[in-house]
Structure 1
Amino acid sequence: TTIGANAHSQASDSSSILLEAARGGNPDSVTLLLKYGADANIPKISGHLPIHVAADRGHLLALKMLVPVTDLAAIKWSGINPVHCAAAGAHTQCLELLIQAGFDVNFMLDQRIHKHYDDQRKSALYFAVSNGDLSSVKLLLNAGVLPNQDPVNCLQIALRMGNYELISLLLRHGANVNYFCRVNPLHFPSALQYTLKDEVMLRMLLNYGYDTERCFDCPHGDKVRLYAFEGWTSTVIKDTMFCEVITLSWLRHLSGKVVTVMPDYVDQVRICSKLKSVLQNQGLWSEIHFILSKYPSCRKLVKNTNCMLDLFYRTLFWLKA
């Protein structure tokens, strides 16, 4: 710079010298370029600014220098917030710095950005949850990020991962347990399908208001009939019932355990003929039959037992979180 180099030079993709310095993370280089007039608000063709690159690479010192010289209007025009970049890179310190500096944790990726992701993700929280990054998820939720803004629910991602701590954290901050997935439409809220093999996750959902009644809202009734449904095909069956899913050949062995847990969370349990025919071959059928036949009188006893179990599970995972 002292012999006439241009601090405003750009590469063929419009990447500035300052952006490349931010990518390298050398704070002395960033300081020198800013001193000689480098503009932190010049994007490359992709729309990324130096602050995005520093956050994505986890260069905390460089990021500190770029925060006060980056215009919010330039960030808005770019369609991506540096909070997304820090969350995507799992750089907790950078994320904390940006939150403290007042960056919007609920900034949504612009359509021209999120269309490149198959899951159409929009929020910084989605990136953190996808990474299984509990520290970043905590920072974002405590900063007021909303947990239900993405086309694919963040809770769904945590359930797929089977991460108890993430699930518990999201539920405590208002994650929607009653979302419906756009793929393979079900008559009951989609979250349940990820918990069929895990009683702990099942109880976590039920405790946070899962609409259990939808599972037993079934048109099959008591009539015995032949059922052809045996999974999803290229022609997706619309509004698939709970009984049709839980009685699939690879899931029916779980039906007794799942149905045994559910009566305490619903006012009325109506076992249709299809589900009943499978449950009767389960070892837990006598217990299920007893609960249903004596439902009003034994409900209080079952509820007290389940409440003790629920308290144990919730205390366990809150302590971990």
Structure 2
Amino acid sequence: MATNGKKIKPQVQKKLQSVEDLGPGKTAAEKKMITAHQEKDSSAIIRSQEESACFQEVDPDSGSLPTAEGARRKMNPLFETTQAVLQSEELDLIRQEADVRQLSLHCFAFDEADDRGWLPLHEAAVQLNQAVLAATLQASQPRAREWKTLKGADVLSQASDGVSVLFEAATVENTESLALLLEYGADANVPKYSGHLPIHRATYKGYCQLVKQLIPVTDYSAIKESGISPVHSAAAAGQQECLKLLLQSKFDVNFMLSHRLRRSYNDNRKSALYFAVSNNDVCSARLLLEAGALPNQDPINCLQLALRLANYELISLLLRHGANVNYYCRVNTTHFPSALQYALNDEVILRMLFSYGYDINRCFDCPHENKIHPLFSSEGWTSTVIKDNMFCEVITLNWLKHLTGKVVRVMMDYVAHVHFCSKLKSVLEQQNEWLEITYIMQNPRSLKHLCRLMIRQCMGRMRLRCPVFMTFLSLPRQLKEYILFKEYDLYDGPKN
């Protein structure tokens, strides 16, 4: 046997001949694949023989190896060993394929499952050897219920946990094997018992090429029935490239988890954006928000997660895309919006919240005013038992009252005139900021500042939550920045 006019060793010829003599009945695609595989192996073996011959040539004058090859061997003493290992691996692949085809004579063995419910076809699907998968596909016999499969392979078979062969193939990045299964009629819309489809697995693993193959063969109805979008899978795993691909393919960025799947999470999350924010993944969150993701759809607000993480960039990103700064947590139902609780000790976040329309007036809305406040017992108080407590009751707690002066002083930059109740005033008088606060309160505010507050009131909180609205106003840039309190903005990170 010769390849490209060059002879190869008898033992290699025997190995290749054993592949050529494999059982009849191959499809045209399989013959083409095997021929290409043989030519690749033959070329590799010939190259290996030529390199080995070069190592053995002796210079007739000096009786030593050529200078270049000698230096090469000296610099890399494992060169010959590496070449031998590569040649051995190629022969192993040929031998493995030959073994599978020899076992194909016992076709009923390919219908026997192991303890997991896996057939040999499941095992072949997760291998990186496409030739083994092709041989297993040809050897597998169709069952009565697989009459749709035209080429004889049981590609629709499922393991005991409902995992299909195509689903297992999506766990390894092998585009050729996936394409071969699809050619044999594998259905990309067969879910496992949890409802996940092969596209969910490939997306979670970050295999973009597999996702490209699965997108056109996956039905939206199957995704809807599964209760979870591949966008969720990409956001949960932080796979930005797959996320870009899905968004470019017009997958719904606001697809919500089904009620069945929401119950599996303690926070009842439902949006893909929530997964990205909970992972502190700014890149994925930006992709989702720029594609139109709504930031206020989950039971626990996405902004609340970002505030817990104290991630300035993520907080700014959510606020610029309309996150509700005046949300109320379902657990901590305070009289004032809940976001303030996570920013009391951080002036950067405080000013972010106030610039985007936080309702500061609610903090000074106390029904007791100058009257004596009822005793507020903090014994046993935790963050989960607040019901409708006023700002003055919370900020004057023993472990928070040292922050009272700083917080109230920052608030003064965003309001016109407010009234302090007796309880809040008694604590403020003990703070270093009290003299400055008193000066601000006793003097009239500037007309410019009052006009800014009136303009913001006319705009409304909904428009303030979406700063892009300012681009439609025919106002000078400096005036727009003044309306948005840009002079008080302490955040100097990315804003695009």
Shared fold by TM > 0.5? yes
Alignment check: 8 A CA contact 2:343 2:349 kept = yes
Measured in 1, the distance between the counterparts of 2:344 and 2:354 equals 12
Instruction: Name the SS for the 2:171 alignment partner.
Output: helix
Measured in 1, the distance between the counterparts of 2:247 and 2:383 equals 45
| Aligned equivalent of 1:36 | 184
Q: 1:287 aligns with which of 411, 422, 436?
A: 436
Alignment check: 8 A CA contact 1:187 1:240 kept = yes
1:48 is the counterpart of 2:196: yes
Alignment check: 8 A CA contact 1:184 1:238 kept = yes
Measured in 2, the distance between the counterparts of 1:107 and 1:268 equals 44
Instruction: Name the SS for the 2:139 alignment partner.
Output: coil
Shift of 1:60: 1.1
Measured in 2, the distance between the counterparts of 1:235 and 1:27 equals 51
1:210 is the counterpart of 2:358: yes
| Aligned equivalent of 1:317 | 493
| Aligned equivalent of 2:410 | 261
Name the aligned partner's letter for residue 117 of structure 1. Y
Q: 2:378 aligns with which of 225, 230, 233?
A: 230
Measured in 2, the distance between the counterparts of 1:142 and 1:247 equals 41
| Aligned equivalent of 1:9 | 157
Alignment check: 8 A CA contact 1:213 1:268 kept = no
Describe how 1:168-183 pairs up with structure 2 within 5 A: 168-183=316-331
Shift of 1:40: 0.2
Name the aligned partner's letter for residue 437 of structure 2. I
Mark the CA change 1:55 to 1:255 in structure 2 (over 3 Å): closer, same or farther.
Answer: same
Shift of 1:119: 0.6
Shift of 1:236: 2.9
Measured in 1, the distance between the counterparts of 2:174 and 2:371 equals 73
Q: Which moved more, 1:263-272 or 1:283-292?
A: 263-272
TM-score, normalisation: structure 1: 0.93
Shift of 1:296: 3.2
Q: Which residues of structure 2 form unaligned runs of 5+?
A: 1-136, 141-152, 453-481
1:89 is the counterpart of 2:225: no
TM-score, normalisation: structure 2: 0.61
Describe how 1:95-244 pairs up with structure 2 within 5 A: 95-225=243-373, 227-230=375-378, 232-233=381-382, 236-244=385-393
User: Residues 293-316 of structure 1, C-alpha deviation per residue, up to 9 Å, x if partnerless?
Assistant: 224359849x98x946425x35x2
Name the aligned partner's letter for residue 234 of structure 2. A
Q: Which moved more, 1:159-168 or 1:288-297?
A: 288-297
Shift of 1:228: 2.2
Measured in 1, the distance between the counterparts of 2:221 and 2:338 equals 39
Mark the CA change 1:235 to 1:201 in structure 2 (over 3 Å): closer, same or farther.
Answer: closer
Name the aligned partner's letter for residue 187 of structure 1. H
Mark the CA change 1:144 to 1:116 in structure 2 (over 3 Å): closer, same or farther.
Answer: same
Alignment check: 8 A CA contact 1:106 1:124 kept = yes
Name the aligned partner's letter for residue 392 of structure 2. C
Shift of 1:94: 0.3
Measured in 2, the distance between the counterparts of 1:254 and 1:298 equals 30
Shift of 1:13: 1.2
Shift of 1:226: 5.3
Measured in 1, the distance between the counterparts of 2:447 and 2:408 equals 16
Larger Cα-atom Rg: 2
Alignment check: 8 A CA contact 1:253 1:282 kept = yes
Measured in 1, the distance between the counterparts of 2:296 and 2:228 equals 19
Alignment check: 8 A CA contact 2:371 2:422 kept = yes
Mark the CA change 1:295 to 1:239 in structure 2 (over 3 Å): closer, same or farther.
Answer: farther
Q: Which residues of structure 1 form unaligned runs of 5+?
A: none
Q: Which moved more, 1:134-143 or 1:264-273?
A: 264-273
User: Residues 139-193 of structure 1, C-alpha deviation per residue, up to 9 Å, x if partnerless?
Assistant: 1011001110000000000011000000001000000000000002100110011
Name the aligned partner's letter for residue 283 of structure 1. N
Alignment check: 8 A CA contact 2:412 2:437 kept = no
Instruction: Name the SS for the 2:170 alignment partner.
Output: helix
1:66 is the counterpart of 2:202: no
Structure with the bigger RCO (C-alpha within 8 Å, sep 6+) is 1
Instruction: Name the SS for the 1:120 alignment partner.
Output: coil
1:276 is the counterpart of 2:452: no
Mark the CA change 1:137 to 1:308 in structure 2 (over 3 Å): closer, same or farther.
Answer: closer
Mark the CA change 1:13 to 1:273 in structure 2 (over 3 Å): closer, same or farther.
Answer: same
Shift of 1:233: 4.9
Shift of 1:244: 1.0
Measured in 2, the distance between the counterparts of 1:235 and 1:68 equals 48
Measured in 2, the distance between the counterparts of 1:295 and 1:10 equals 76
Mark the CA change 1:56 to 1:74 in structure 2 (over 3 Å): closer, same or farther.
Answer: same
| Aligned equivalent of 2:72 | none
Instruction: Name the SS for the 2:377 alignment partner.
Output: coil
Alignment check: 8 A CA contact 1:180 1:186 kept = yes
Describe how 1:290-305 pairs up with structure 2 within 5 A: 290-296=439-445, 300=449
Mark the CA change 1:285 to 1:298 in structure 2 (over 3 Å): closer, same or farther.
Answer: farther
Measured in 1, the distance between the counterparts of 2:447 and 2:428 equals 20
| Aligned equivalent of 2:395 | 246
